[in-house]
Amino acid sequence: MTTSEARPAVPAIWSPDSWRTKTALQQPTYRDAAAVRRVLGEIATLPPLVTSWEVLALKQQLAEAQEGQRFVLQGGDCAESFSECTSASITAKLKILLQMSLVLIQGSRKPVTRIGRFAGQYAKPRSEDLETRDGVSLPAYRGDIVNRSPFNAADREPDPQLLLRGYERSALTLNFVRALVKGGFADLHHPEYWDLAFAENSPLAGEYHRITSSIAESLQFMESILGVKAGELDRVDFFTSHEGLHLGYEEALTRRVPRREGWFNLSAHFPWVGLRTSAVDGAHIEYFRGIVNPIGLKIGATTTPEQLARLVETLNPADEPGRLTLIHRFGVRHLADKLPCLIRAIRRAGRKVLWICDPMHGNTRVTAEGIKTRSFEDIRHELETAFDVHAAEGSYLGGVHIELTGGDVTECTGGARGLTDHDLKLAYLTEVDPRLNWEQALEIAMLVAHKMARSRA
């Protein structure tokens, strides 16, 4: 049987609300508990956002990536905003992910699984419950699904109606992405559809166009020899992901489906557990251990081999292929020291996982003017070191996890344009963490592709 047909391991004692018996971190405090119950009850009656067969198709692809047969590209906003649920914004993010995947396909000589970090990435964990400005303390902004960004008491009050709006915005985004992908927007015969107008003068434009021309010529040659059109290449699979942070919302979208065993989280194909909520005896791990979906687990410099072994045993006791992806986020200073012992811990346990590198979160810094940013050089260095460490340990780095936008923002320093701290104010638009712009994201894809091509040589 393929992974998508295999029977998933279903916990004997678990329910979508069993997380409520555990300590739940990073949850908003609502004034009106009855209003929250009404909203979540309404969401529980609405159609799912994704389907069980899409979820299982992704699990199959992740199982292939786990065996080194695929590469995974996961990318999108740090935190989506309701105001950016527009055709232009969605199209730009889809374009850059398609462009990056095309570069990675050429470099890796493998199929690439595309997972968008959008259509649901509306909740964000925070280091502190309160934010203080000029002596005034208010609840921290936790994402558009919880409260609003402006620093005033009314906007920072958690509002249960935003949960419903988050569901609706996710549905609108998914509907548009599906229409684009299934309608030929992702046709490999026409990668010129994916160009971003403001990037025409980028130093990377020439190399990108050489890649697309090479692929187009290869397609034409293959079709001429076979005498048929490579029809499957006019569309691609595209999956969605978000951090499964707001457990009430995730529970409301957890469903049984006909003729399949177990409970599916149908808010996204690939939900993940963040580093701040990964306590093995906590509510998030309790929730995630019971769903059928392939899931991600963020790990970092504070994760010990013993903790990781317990988490893997809890989340994937049957060692199901494609079930568990470990997304490591160490920071360039810690990766070489901390990652090898975790790889060895997984090997000692006799487990198989998919390893993905998140080079963004461990490399955040604050400028002298108090602006959060990330250095492109640190991101690049962590990615390259990750490939080297996995190779040295006999492991396979099967993907990258990037916070990016299709826009021409200036939130991370460095890259082809050499952005500096001084340039950040030109187009700093993020409400939470800094993202790579189009040019920097494509440059990362090219660097990864070159690294993988060299490893084949």
The pLDDT score that the predictor gives to residue 186 is 67
Report the run of H or E that residue 107 belongs to, with start and end.
helix 87-108
The pLDDT score that the predictor gives to residue 454 is 87
The pLDDT score that the predictor gives to residue 213 is 66
Segments of the chain with pLDDT less than 50: 1-5, 198, 222, 226, 228, 230-233
Tokens of 21: 């018996």
Residue 10 domain flag: no
Domain that holds residue 113: 22-456
Residue 11 domain flag: no
Within 116-258, residue ranges assigned H as helices are 153-156, 161-182, 205-226, 247-252
Q: Are 70 and 57 in contact (CB under 8 A)?
A: no
Cβ contacts of 133 within 8 Å, gap of 6 or more = 151
Residue 6 domain flag: no
Tokens of 208: 């990108």
Q: Are 357 and 334 in contact (CB under 8 A)?
A: no
Residue 8 domain flag: no
Cβ contacts of 53 within 8 Å, gap of 6 or more = 4
Taking the complete model, does pTM exceed 0.85, yes or no?
yes
Residue 17 domain flag: no
Query: What DSSP letter does each residue of 299-368 carry, written as one string?
Result: E-TT--HHHHHHHHHHH-TT--TTSEEEEE---TTTHHHHHHHHHHHHHHTT---EEEE--SGGGEEE-T
Q: Give the chain's domain count.
A: 1
Tokens of 226: 């076979």
The dihedral through the CA atoms of 13, 14, 18, 24 has a sign that is positive
Q: Are 43 and 252 in contact (CB under 8 A)?
A: yes
Task: For residue range 101-139, list pLDDT tens digits in order.
Answer: 888 988 888 999 999 999 999 999 998 999 999 999 999
CA dist 60 and 77 (Å) reads 25
Cβ contacts of 374 within 8 Å, gap of 6 or more = 360, 363, 364, 365, 411, 412, 413, 434
Strands 397-403 and 71-76: parallel
Residue 141 domain flag: yes
Residue 15 domain flag: no
- For residue 258, the one-letter residue type is P
The CATH number of the domain where 189 resides is what? 3.20.20.70
Residue 63 domain flag: yes
CA dist 150 and 4 (Å) reads 44
CA dist 172 and 80 (Å) reads 13
Mean pLDDT over each residue of the chain, to the nearest integer: 90
CA dist 129 and 153 (Å) reads 14
Task: For residue range 351-400, list pLDDT tens digits in order.
Answer: 999 999 999 999 999 999 999 999 999 999 999 999 999 999 999 999 99
